[in-house]
Amino acid sequence: MPEAPRCRFAPSPTGYLHVGGAHSALANWLFARHTGGTFLLRIEDTDAERNRPELTENVLEMLRWLGLTWDGDPVHQSDRFDLYRQAADRLLEAGTAYACDCTPDEVQARHGERGGPPGYDGHCRDRGLVPAEGRALRFRVPDSGATGWTDLIRGEVRFEHANLEDFVLLRSSGAPTFLLANAVDDADMAITHVIRGEDHVNGTPKYLLIRGALGSGVPAFAHMPLLVNQGRKKLSKRRDDVSVADYRARGYLAEAMVNYLALLGWGPPDGVEVRPLAEIVDLFDLADVNPAPAFFDPQKLAHVNGEYIRALEPAAFVERAAPFVPPGEERAREALEALAVEVRDRVRTLAEVPELIDFLWRDEPDIDEAAWEKAARGKGAAEVLEGAIAGLSSIGAERWEPGAIRTVVEGAAVEAGLVNAEGRPQLAKAQAPLRVAVTGRAVGPPLFESLAALGPDRTLARLQAARARLP
């Protein structure tokens, strides 16, 4: 029986989860859930300044938020330095590694003299230095031949040894490098599939040389496509929105993020892109991932998010949107409930919710002056306001509902001469000044439902205030 697959996500603690990291984590998670395998988490915190819990916390929190839960406890490299030193000792004894006391300046100066490709020149290879404090340990890369693998996404990849420098395994401080710790841990954790970003392709021959020298077998590799922005440039923290936590704060749903990330470099065979995660788990196959860089398109993400929001039941929408309206405002929660469906169907992110309904909890609407100027200049604005005030005053609180309000506004439109060729009221024109007067904005949820939710007293007060502002 073939062994059950084991894969891992191995973030370096940076204080935040990058969408590219989330993309790799998701590929691992989908692969494990699809194959019935195991998904492990390893924190690559060998750098002393990375080894701080607060730099890992947000990464774990975001993985949990996305639902990419891992099996077992996370492994921390900072707990495992002994393992890396033991591996380094074995390589040293076998002669595959050697001590080096060159400073970076010396390495660079020699490169300056000799020219050609930069990097280490093998200066200490045969000096027989004894490992000691202040001396690094380097891997002796074979002079000839090549190292390669069959990438599950990229196919055959091969690196000539002549192009690889003798890389560092232990720094002069004694700390293991990423390359050593990464390769040793994958062997120790019995990882069968290394699924990670394209940026690790160049390090993979070194990984394979270490594994070969330790005699610890080799896993399969799948290097996921790089995520790029509209300009086809690698996503950058400075230029692009890359933090998963920021998307959460801006009202993206975890399930929409996951669905969208799954579509980067991969698509289901039937082309149905927005679908339940269980179906994506069923359909996902690393062999179908496209190696070409994938465009991380915030517009499409927002679109997918909007679809997920519209699919929420009204009560679920209220729960998810509640954190985005001012806390402690009783009227805010009521507003959300009153217009749940109307708002749900008009937003792409939950952060857009408050601006659609804040007129319901503010004492006075926050008037957009440009919108008001435009509506006030419209034909019949004053007459419509007057007609609506008169008509709505006579409705009475018990009949205050969208149908009755609509009838009044239709009547006011006709009175104001806002009728089309067939004599029908031009409702859009009549609604414009009323909407700005009551909500402060030119666009928003349906007007009659909005006025119904606001109630007769506040509606009439706002219409009167608006009328008073007109000549």
Catalytic machinery residues: 237
Q: Which residues pair with 40 in a beta bridge?
A: 8
Catalogue the E-assigned strands of 251-344. Answer: 294-295
- Figure out which of the listed residues 5, 7, 11, 448 binds ligand GLU, where binding follows CB under 6 A: 11
Q: Which residues pair with 425 in a beta bridge?
A: 419
434 touches Zn ion by CB under 5 A: no
Q: Which two tokens stand for residue 415?
A: 């009175």
Dihedral angle of Cα 455, 332, 343, 436, to the nearest 10 degrees? 50
Compute the least distance from the CB of residue 135 to Zn ion, in Å. 9
Q: How many residues does the chain have?
A: 471
Q: Which residues pair with 196 in a beta bridge?
A: 223
**Choices 5-13, 320-328, 399-407, 462-470 (CB under 6 A): range interacting with ligand GLU:** 5-13
198 touches ligand GLU by CB under 6 A: no
- Figure out which of the listed residues 5, 6, 10, 191 binds ligand GLU, where binding follows CB under 6 A: 10
Instruction: Compare residues 177 and 439 and give the one whose CB is closer to ligand GLU.
Output: 177
185 touches ligand GLU by CB under 6 A: no
**Longest Cα separation, the chain:** 101
Pairing of strands 220-224, 193-197: parallel
- Figure out which of the listed residues 12, 58, 78, 426 binds ligand GLU, where binding follows CB under 6 A: 12
Compute the least distance from the CB of residue 196 to ligand GLU, in Å. 3
Instruction: Compare residues 200 and 234 and give the one whose CB is closer to ligand GLU.
Output: 200
**Residue 10 binds which entry of ligand GLU, Zn ion, none, with Cβ cut-offs from 5 to 8 Å by kind?**
ligand GLU
CB 78 within 8 A of CB 51: yes
Task: Tell me which DSSP letter residue 49 carries.
Answer: G
136 touches Zn ion by CB under 5 A: no
182 touches ligand GLU by CB under 6 A: yes
The residue among 248, 247, 243, 282 whose CA lies nearest residue 262 is 282
200 touches ligand GLU by CB under 6 A: yes
Compute the least distance from the CB of residue 292 to Zn ion, in Å. 39
The residue among 201, 209, 199 whose CA lies nearest residue 146 is 209
- The 47-86 site mask, x for binding Zn ion (CB under 5 A), equals ----------------------------------------
Q: Nearest residue to ligand GLU, using CB?
A: 196
Backbone angles phi, psi at 55, to 5 degrees: -80, -15
Cα distance between residue 39 and residue 24, in whole Å: 12
**Residue 44 binds which entry of ligand GLU, Zn ion, none, with Cβ cut-offs from 5 to 8 Å by kind?**
ligand GLU
441 touches ligand GLU by CB under 6 A: no
Instruction: Compare residues 34 and 200 and give the one whose CB is closer to ligand GLU.
Output: 200
362 touches ligand GLU by CB under 6 A: no
CB within 8 Å of 98: residues ≥ 6 apart? 92, 124, 125, 127, 128, 129, 137, 138, 140, 166
Q: Which two tokens stand for residue 470?
A: 């007109």
Instruction: Compare residues 11 and 445 and give the one whose CB is closer to ligand GLU.
Output: 11
Binding site residues, ligand GLU, CB under 6 A = 10-12, 44, 182, 194, 196, 200
